[in-house]
Amino acid sequence: MDAKKVLKKSSNIVSREIEGKVIFLPLSRSSKDISCIYTLNETAAAAWNIINGKISLGEIKDKLIAKFNVTEKTLEKELEQFAKDLKSIKAVI
């Protein structure tokens, strides 16, 4: 994981918290273009809420370690995959 990498949320994704769940909806021209709605687990939702275009992945990891009962190695691996997943759906730039 590139601990210095900073992610910025894309304006092409709308996220909402509904009944304690964070969901993503890609913005599109029409409802026919919508192929997926993404739901985040608790850890991913916490990471998403921290992403602001200024804080690094290393800082996000540190905040999540303080909040969740997880090893640093496991969290680092999951955060790296989450960042890749966000990039693949163009949720971050």
**Where do the structural domains in the chain lie, given as residue ranges?**
13-88
DSSP single-letter state for residue 93: -
What CATH number was assigned to the domain covering residues 13-88? 1.10.10
Q: What is the mean pLDDT of residues 59-71?
A: 94
DSSP single-letter state for residue 91: S
Residue 37: alpha-carbon gap to chain centroid: 14
Residue-wise DSSP of 1-60: --TT-B--B-TTEEEEEETTEEEEEE--SSGGG----EEE-HHHHHHHHH--SSSBHHHH
The average confidence (pLDDT) of the chain is: 89
Residue 46: pLDDT over 60: yes
Percent of the chain beyond pLDDT 70? 91
